[in-house]
A and B are shown apart, each in its own frame.
Chain A
Amino acid sequence: MNVLMPSPRLVRAALPALSLAALLVAIWFVQPRAISYFGFNLMLNLAMPIAFATIAQLCVITVNDLDLSIGAFVSFVACVGATWLNATPLLGVAVLLGAVVVYALVGALIHLRNLPSIVVTLGMSFFWLGCSVLLLPSPGGSAPAWLAALVKVRTPLVPFAILVSAALALVVHVGLMRSAWGAILRGAGGNPVAVARAGWSLLRTKVTMFALAGFFGVLSGLSLVGLTTSADANIAIRYTLLSIAGVILGGGEFVGGRVSPVGAVLGAMTLTLAGSLLSFLRISPDWQIGAQGAILIVVLALRALVNRLERRR
């Protein structure tokens, strides 16, 4: 290998940004006018809730679990946001706090009984869906005015959604990748036995990460209901798969606590923009999920290639 070739590690880290850039170039090529403040505002409208949901999923994946209930949970939060939070704000806030506690308890249960997270969170997805159906049997409700105003704020130069996503990526990056606490939390996914031997409580790390997932899930649901102003029980069901795809797209390794918050947010944006590109290309929205799957596969294939080159070296 020659010296000009960047290190595989760098290439891997740059992949999420490169795939987003490739997508942007493609959009610019097809529809140059979309690359503007107004265009980004429209296209990335829904990037905010998806980015929050992706970070929630990232927290769970960090400790070697998988959350298949995040979509149902975000829907539930949106339903609470469109009903109780508007009518009786105190009750609404209490319910959302309670929901975060439930998330933490699920983490504790998974750890204490050593349960498969897939099954437990699938069960929880039924639980949240049931709660949403009880709360909002048919689509409707209305988001609090302050919430709608907050998420639709028009910031100068750069659209609000991009600012929030960047801030989110930065905060989680510093917290998880650059702090001592973050190292322990990731270590609990990388080598649980070592972390436990070093005297840290694995129960506490798992509860922390699940509680954080619940917290970001709440932010996702609130930003979503602020944008849509009404909710229904199935509003965010696709977020479950989308969030997993976002984390993996962003360079998350799925086992061993190897995650990348910045990559995950970029991944969420890539998946959001994929839909816009399709509509610019006048391809039926039927293929939107398929395009997201194809992007995922292409990026994973590139990563596999980089890994293979690295091994050959």
Chain B
Amino acid sequence: MRQSAFSRLADWSAERPWLWSFVGAGLIFLATIAFTSGKGGGDVLTAALTFATFYVIVGIGQMFVITTGPGNVDLSIPANIALVGAVAMKVMDGSNAMIVPGLAAVAAVGLAIGCFNFALIRILSIPPIIATLSASFLVQSTAIAYGRGLRIKPPPVFAELATGRVLGVPILAIIAILVAAAMALVLRRTVYGRSVLAIGQNARAAGLAGIRVARVRFATYVLSAVFASFCGALLAGFSGGASLNMGEEFLLASIAVVVIGGTSVAGGFSNVPGIWGASLFLYLLVTMLNTFGVGAGVRLILTGLIIIAVIALSGGRRPGRG
């Protein structure tokens, strides 16, 4: 009987690849509070929820892109975040009345970058990695020229939205959980979401079955860019202003949370809950290493090695280029 219980458990977890990211996050959290003998556990958790939010938002966009098949990845996210942070702060100009126009500008920039990315992929027929890379060069330059020396604080209400809490839970985290839930529904229950999965599994078959492959890919790149844009705006609101390098860490983070969350890099198989688990995992990992008092160098080395180890242990089932 034991045996069958085990195999049932194995089957159950095999259908839920996101489980491991939560297990990992939980273990790291326990290790951290064991080290501090239980002190500050609540604070760590609140901080983790807040910072994980940013990873979750860009991660979901990146996940949809990666799901559409091998070679699909959005490398323009860091440049996008840098540009949008500057645009949002300039348009809002520290005034509460300008928050809505500011967010509209954010959406417009995201839309424009997404369209540009896809136009390059489609018109030049080049691999998405190169297309989004070239686009990111232009976007990054625009961000540098536009945002240099920018010192505008976010409007008070917007800053409050980005840093505030309701019943001890960060508002941002609540928003991100709702967004994640909505996007999970989109992925599983809408024609668009099912099309994304189908294209990732076999683009040719999906096309023959009547799915408008180009249109779905277009929507996906726009989706990713818009999500990254909103992340950039929230990040600027959260950190009290935009900075040009605030997007840098999101290149690795956006891809890492997707993969650690159990999404196949070869495309066609993805899940939203894993993005949350992996985001918490990534943030708690850094917190744990900080708590243990290791220096910046060791922390970077361990972060890199742990990401590789997680992927080496979990990945590599399906052939494909990533």
The answer to whether A293 and B73 touch across the interface, beta carbons within 8 angstroms, is no
Q: Does A122 contact B (CB under 8 A)?
A: yes
Asked if residues A244 and B127 are in contact (CB atoms below 8 Å), the reply is no
Partner of A129, one of B136, B251, B300: B300
Minimum CB–CB distance from A29 to chain B (whole Å) comes to 23
Residues of A with C-beta under 8 A to B316: 113-115
List B278-314 residues whose CB lies under 8 Å from chain A: 295-305, 307-308, 311-312
Known contacts A122-B251, A255-B321, A300-B134; decide if A127 and B300 are in contact (CB<8 Å): yes
Return the CB mask of A119-136 against B: 1 if under 8 Å, else 0: 110111111111111110
20 contacts between A and B (CB under 8 A): A65-B321, A114-B317, A115-B312, A115-B322, A116-B265, A123-B303, A126-B303, A126-B304, A127-B300, A131-B297, A135-B297, A137-B296, A241-B136, A245-B137, A248-B130, A255-B321, A287-B145, A292-B137, A293-B134, A303-B124
Report if A64 contacts B (CB, 8 A): yes
A134 in contact with B134 (CB, 8 Å): no
Cβ–Cβ < 8 Å partners of A132 in chain B: 297
Set of chain A residues within 8 Å of B125, measured between Cβ atoms: 304, 307
A118 on the B face (CB < 8 A): yes
Instruction: Check A289 for interface membership: any CB of B closer than 8 A.
Output: yes
Partner of B124, one of A109, A123, A304: A304
Give Cα distance in the complex from A129 to B304, angstroms: 9
> Which chain A residues border B255 with CB–CB below 8 Å?
118-119, 122
Residues of B within 8 A of A303 (CB): 124
Binding site for A on B (CB under 8 A): 71, 73, 120, 123-127, 129-130, 133-138, 140-142, 144-145, 148, 251-252, 255-256, 259, 265-266, 295-305, 307-308, 311-312, 315-322
- Asked if residues B322 and A124 are in contact (CB atoms below 8 Å), the reply is no
Which B residues touch A255, using CB under 8 A?
Answer: 71, 127, 321
| Residues of A contacting B127 in the complex (Cβ-Cβ under 8 angstroms) | 254-255
Rounded to whole angstroms, the CA-CA distance of A245 and B320 in the bound complex is 23
Cβ A293 vs Cβ B137 within 8 A? yes
Interface check A66, CB cutoff 8 A? yes
Flag whether A117 is at the interface (Cβ < 8 A).
yes
Which A residues are CB-close (under 8 A) to B295?
133-134
- In the bound assembly, the distance between CA atoms of A63 and B299 in angstroms comes to 31
Beyond A119-B311, A123-B304, A126-B252, whether A66 also contacts B297 by CB under 8 A is no
Q: Is A276 an interface residue (CB 8 A)?
A: no
Asked if A119 contacts B256 (CB within 8 A), the reply is: yes
Chain B residues lying within 8 Å of A65, measured Cβ to Cβ, are 321
Q: Does A301 contact B (CB under 8 A)?
A: yes
Tally A-B pairs: CB < 8 A: 168
A290 at the interface (CB under 8 A from B): yes
Most chain A CB within a 10 A radius of its CB, from B123, B138, B266: B138
Instruction: Across the A-B interface, give the 10 residue pairs with the lowest CB-CB distance, nearest first.
Output: A116-B322, A293-B137, A290-B141, A126-B304, A130-B300, A130-B301, A134-B297, A127-B304, A133-B297, A116-B265
Is B301 touching A254 in the complex (CB atoms < 8 A)? no
CB pair A124–B137 under 8 Å, yes or no, is no
Is B301 in contact with A293, judged by CB distance below 8 angstroms? Answer: no
Number of interface residues of A (CB under 8 A): 50
Q: What is the chain B residue whose CB lies nearest that of A124?
A: B304
Pick the contact of A304: B73, B123, B129 (CB < 8 A): B123
A271 vs chain B, min Cβ distance (A): 10
A284 part of interface (Cβ distance < 8 Å): yes
- Cβ contact within 8 Å between B322 and A119: yes
Contact status B126-A304, CB under 8 Å: yes
Within 8 Å by CB of A301, from B71, B124, B259, B298, lies: B124
Q: Say whether A288 faces chain B, with CB atoms less than 8 Å apart.
A: yes
Across the interface, do B145 and A130 meet the contact criterion of CB distance under 8 Å?
no
Which residue from B137, B141, B305, B322 sits with its C-beta under 8 Å from A286? Answer: B141
Tell me the smallest distance from the CB of A274 to a CB of chain B, in Å. Answer: 11
Is there a chain B Cβ closer than 8 Å to A95's Cβ? no
Contact present for B301 and A131 (CB under 8 Å)? yes
Contacting residue for A290 out of B137, B265, B317, CB 8 A: B137
Taking CB atoms, residues of chain A closer than 8 Å to B265 are 116, 118-119
Q: Tell me if A46 counts as interface (CB < 8 A to partner B).
A: no
Task: Let me know if A64 and B123 touch, CB within 8 A.
Answer: no
- Please state if A116 and B138 are interface contacts (CB–CB under 8 Å): no
Judged by a CB distance under 8 angstroms, whether A26 is at the interface is: no
In whole Å, how far is A282's beta carbon from the nearest beta carbon of chain B?
14
A245 to B132 CA separation, bound complex (whole angstroms): 12
Verify if A194 is at the interface (C-beta below 8 Å from B): no
Q: A116-B321, A123-B307 are in contact. Are A130 and B137 (CB under 8 A)?
A: no
Q: Min CB distance, A270 to chain B, in Å? A: 14
Identity of the chain A residue whose Cβ is nearest the Cβ of B138 in the assembled complex:
A293
B144 lies within 8 A of A120 (CB): no
- Report chain A residues within 8 Å CB of B252: 122-123, 125-126
B321 in contact with A64 (CB, 8 Å): yes
Closest Cβ of chain A to B318, distance in Å, is: 8
Minimum CB distance partner of A288 in chain B: B141
| B322 and A118 contacting across the interface, CB-CB below 8 Å | yes
Q: How far is the CA of A293 from the CA of B137 in the complex (A)?
A: 5
A residues within 8 A CB of B142?
A: 290
User: Which of A114, A126, A244, A284 is in CB contact (< 8 Å) with B301?
Assistant: A126
Bound Cα distance A186, B257 (Å): 32
A131-B297, A293-B134, A297-B120 known; A287 and B141 CB under 8 Å?
yes
Q: Are A297 and B311 in contact (CB under 8 A)?
A: no
Which interface residue of B125, B300, B303 has the most chain A CB atoms within 10 A?
A: B300
In the bound complex, do residue A116 and residue B126 qualify as a contact, i.e. CB atoms below 8 Å apart?
no
How far apart sit A134 and B265, CA to CA, in the bound complex (Å)? 32
Q: Distance (Å) between the CB of B25 and the closest chain A CB?
A: 18
Q: Given the complex, which residues of B lie within 8 Å of A245, measured CB to CB?
A: 133-134, 137
CB nearest neighbor in A for B252: A122
For the complex, give the distance between the alpha carbons of A182 and B251 in Å.
33
